[in-house]
Amino acid sequence: MLKKEIIYFEKTGPENTAVCLDILEQLAAEGYKTFVIASTTGQTGRLAAERLKKFDVNLVVIGHCVGFKEPNQDEFLPENYDAIVAAGGKVYKGTILTHSLETALAKRFSGVYPTLLIAQSLRRLGEGMKVCCEIVMEACDAGLIPEGTEVVAMAGTARGSDTVTIIKSAASKRFLELRVLEILAKPRV
């Protein structure tokens, strides 16, 4: 059983990726079946796919939507896409949900710019925490993972990974049912 203590990194960045990948591999060995990984260029997703291919898991790698940085630009590299799929993973590139969560909150809350409030609130726990929540909802919305199950999510701040969580999955329309069950790694800054 994975030791359930939180690993705190002193700073953000790709130097934490190897430790995060070790955690993923341990969780897969424990029997976790669903993994959702944030990856801008596909490099981190490719590393996760290589580590997890020996396990019977559902791996979903979430990239930015095409045009996120510039019109018509796809930041996800084709060679990483091919390697992830070859290792049995799936790749999804869609809209970042903190730009479109109004539907989930409109029935319960009134106010201005609720998605910005959500994004900024989640960022108080770290950029990776915000992204972990977003990518799990994106994967549910795309039908790539089931709702209401424990999902391992890994994300980071800019490049690489520095955050690993276990989340009870929910689609964006049921955002208020999403639960961060465990935080296994995150930066302190």
Res. 66: pLDDT tops 90: no
In a domain, 2, yes or no: no
- Domain interval for residue 87: 7-187
SS3 68: coil
Query: What DSSP letter does each residue of 78-122 carry, written as one string?
Result: HHHHHHHHHTT-EEEE---GGGS-HHHHTTT--SS-HHHHHHHHH
In a domain, 172, yes or no: yes
In a domain, 32, yes or no: yes
Phi, psi of 65 (to 5 degrees): -70, 155
How much of the chain, in percent, has pLDDT values that exceed 90? 70
CATH number for position 136:
3.40.1380.20
pLDDT digits (tens, 9 = 90+) for 16-49: 999 999 999 999 999 999 999 999 999 999 999 9
In a domain, 47, yes or no: yes
In a domain, 1, yes or no: no
User: Is 145 exposed, middle or buried, given 0-12, 13-18 or 19+ CB atoms closer than 10 A?
Assistant: buried
Residues contacting residue 20 through CB under 8 Å, at least 6 positions apart: 154, 156, 161, 162, 163, 164, 185
Report the domain count for the chain.
1
